[in-house]
Amino acid sequence: MAEGEPPVDDETPFDEVGAHISTAGGVANAPGRARDIGSVTLQLFTKQPNRWAEPEIGVDQAEAYLREHGAREIITSGAHDSYLINLSTPDPVLWERSYASFRAELVRCAALELGFLVTHPGNATDRDMESGIVRNAEGVTRALEEVPGPTRVLLEITAGSGTSVGGSLENLQAILERIPEPQRGRVGVCFDTCHAYSAGYDLVGDFDGVWAEFEDRIGLDRLGLFHLNDSKHPFDSRKDRHEHIGEGSLGDGPFRRIMTDPRFREIPKVLETPKGDDMVTLDRKNLARLRAFRTEA
């Protein structure tokens, strides 16, 4: 717990909602920071996400993290991979570098026994979407073949800007279909509310229709994680900028529906809302707002 922060109230309802947590000072600090905001669900970076450097997780680091994970009674933990990775690129040099980085992410996740690794499908910069999808599936498949462990790869829907692969459920479906069994059993989807709304999935006006399409194309059994973020931009903007829950263009409605829909009750839900200068207070505020939707129901 950060110096000067009040302890979490004993009545805090620990459940499946959490946040992306800082690993400043070492990954072993993340479980305690999750409990500081009243959560037993966390997402973290296993490295600096804007650098190619690939640090190893040593035995001592892994053991320290796992001790804290157990002591803090964390239920769900996972990682988000590097923003530099592009497994859909037509550039063979960048693809190999991206693959090496993605594989290293999986190795670190295995060392920390993380349950999931969220990945952006990347960009087909030659605008050949089909080839980009094939390249992405090949990279994910190869990494899963080479790195055993408990970690499930979650393909994240993107806001759909430019040459982005992953800006539609159809794209994610195509990637999944190109990953052979048994590797496909370790792959699912991360549904980011801001990204989906910006990509043209109308969670405000057609919530049921969005999830009917998800069920048809992906299957709810492959929904591994929610990123719960409001959006600073309007519907179908193709822009990705997160806002606090209920304070953006989505408003309270879609979040209330997600939090009260029995289909989603056990799906981990992670905030990636703005942290500001006081991430503890802001994360608690957003988590409280999400939890209040259940008490109101």
Inter-residue contact 166 to 157 (CB < 8 Å): yes
For residues 259 and 266, what is the distance between their CA atoms, to the nearest angstrom?
10
Cα within 13 Å of Cα(272), Cβ side: 21
Q: Could you count the other beta carbons within 10 Å of the beta carbon of residue 27?
A: 26
Name the residue ranges covered by the structural domains of the chain. Answer: 17-277
Q: What is the pLDDT of residues 43-101, one digit of tens each?
A: 999 999 999 999 999 999 999 999 999 999 999 999 999 999 999 999 999 999 999 99
Two structure tokens written together for 260: 């009260």
As given in the structure block, the two tokens for residue 196 are 């989906």
Q: What is the pLDDT of residue 277?
A: 85
Task: Provide the pLDDT for residue 2.
Answer: 39
The span from the CA of 181 to the CA of 277, in Å, is 45
For 255-286, b/e burial (b = at least 16 CB within 10 A) is bbbbbeeeebeebbbbbbbbeeeebbebbbeb
Model confidence over 112-145: pLDDT tens digits? Answer: 999 999 999 999 999 999 999 999 999 999 999 9
Q: Which residue has the higher pLDDT, 211 or 279?
A: 211
More confident residue, 90 or 161: 90
Question: How confident is the model at residue 283, as a pLDDT?
Answer: 97
Q: Which two tokens stand for residue 193?
A: 């509310």
Residues 6+ away with beta carbon under 8 Å from 16:
41, 75, 76, 265, 266, 267, 268, 269
pLDDT (0 to 100) of residue 278: 87
With cut-offs at 50, 70 and 90, classify the pLDDT of residue 4: very low
Higher pLDDT, 4 or 21: 21
Tokens of 97: 């570098």
Q: What is the pLDDT of residue 140?
A: 98
| Residue entry with tokens 């606090």 | 244
pLDDT in tens, 166-215: 999 999 999 999 999 999 999 999 999 999 999 999 999 999 999 999 99
Query: pTM value?
Result: 0.95
Say which residue the tokens 């960009």 belong to: 123
Identify the three-state secondary structure at position 117. strand
How crowded is residue 2: how many other Cβ atoms within 10 Å of its Cβ? 11
Is CATH 3.60.20.30 the classification given to domain 17-277? no
